[in-house]
């Protein structure tokens, strides 16, 4: 019965997700051109951020005295975390309203409907961010101690190793995605 219960919960979640997606599509169709233009401008900030990253890093490492790599990595992860927390707090009220419209009864928000609590995505994001931070810090230390050609080889080797590790853990060569 546990399998049947999980299957019915998955079906319920799939129905709710499809319902939300259709409502989102309807909302997007009624979005004004001004809002669409603003969204496009916000998306254009991504290449701006990526394009300015390398010159800023070069500038910081050319400073006298040089900034330690670990300190620099910590600083930009703290800035990114603060920015995301700010954005999360800005959108929290909208998310609660969306949940209430999807599955609330008398204004009650039932986040457990799909088997997750409200804090689960945040905890998952913090965990993945911690792994990314640790990997980045180890990479910074490695780049300071290994010749550039060997470092480039090792960094690019992850492009091959990650899918192979995924297939090994799944015990299925076709799991490479």
* pLDDT digits 0-9 by tens, 18-73: 776 676 666 666 667 787 788 888 888 888 877 887 777 778 777 888 788 788 88
Q: What is the pLDDT of residue 3?
A: 47
CA distance 35 to 40: 9
Record the tokens describing residue 157, joined without a space.
């080797």
115: left (phi over 0), alpha (psi -120 to 50) or beta: left
Q: Binning pLDDT at 50, 70 and 90, where does residue 113 land?
A: very low
Q: What is the pLDDT of residue 115?
A: 47
CA distance 76 to 86: 15
* Pick from 47-51, 113-117, 158-162: least confident: 113-117
Q: What is the pLDDT of residue 87?
A: 78
β-pair partners for 108: 105
- When the pLDDT of each residue in the chain is averaged and rounded to a whole number, the result is 74
Angle (deg, nearest 10), helices 120-145 and 148-170: 140
Within 13 Å, how many C-alpha atoms sit on residue 100's CB side?
9
Residue 129 has pLDDT above 70, yes or no: yes
Angle, CA of 67, 45 and 43, to the nearest 5° = 140
Three-state DSSP state, 18: helix
Contacts of 36-39 with CB under 8 Å at 24 or more apart are none
Averaged pLDDT, 142-171:
83
Residue 105 has pLDDT above 60, yes or no: no
Q: Binning pLDDT at 50, 70 and 90, where does residue 101 land?
A: low
Q: DSSP for 95-147?
A: HHHHHHHHH-BTTB--GGGGT--TTHHHHHHHHHHHHHHHHHHHHHHHHHHS-
CA distance 159 to 161: 6
CA distance 37 to 131: 35
Q: What is the pLDDT of residue 1?
A: 47
Q: What is the pLDDT of residue 109?
A: 47
């Amino acid at each position: 019965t546990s399998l049947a219960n999980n299957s019915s919960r998955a079906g319920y979640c799939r129905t709710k997700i499809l319902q939300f997606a259709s409502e989102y599509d309807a909302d997007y169709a009624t979005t004004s051109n001004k809002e669409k233009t603003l969204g496009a401008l916000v998306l254009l900030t991504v290449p701006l951020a990526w394009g300015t990253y390398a010159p800023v890093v070069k500038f910081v490492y050319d400073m006298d005295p040089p900034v330690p790599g670990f300190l620099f990595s910590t600083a930009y992860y703290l800035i990114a975390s603060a920015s995301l927390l700010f954005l999360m707090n800005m959108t929290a009220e909208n998310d609660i309203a969306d949940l209430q419209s999807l599955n609330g009864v008398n204004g009650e928000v039932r986040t457990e409907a799909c088997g997750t609590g409200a804090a689960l995505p945040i905890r998952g994001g913090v965990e993945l961010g911690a792994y990314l931070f640790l990997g980045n810090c180890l990479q910074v230390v490695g780049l300071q101690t290994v010749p550039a050609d060997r470092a480039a080889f090792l960094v690019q080797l992850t492009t091959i190793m990650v899918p192979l590790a995924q297939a090994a853990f799944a015990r299925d060569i076709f799991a490479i995605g």
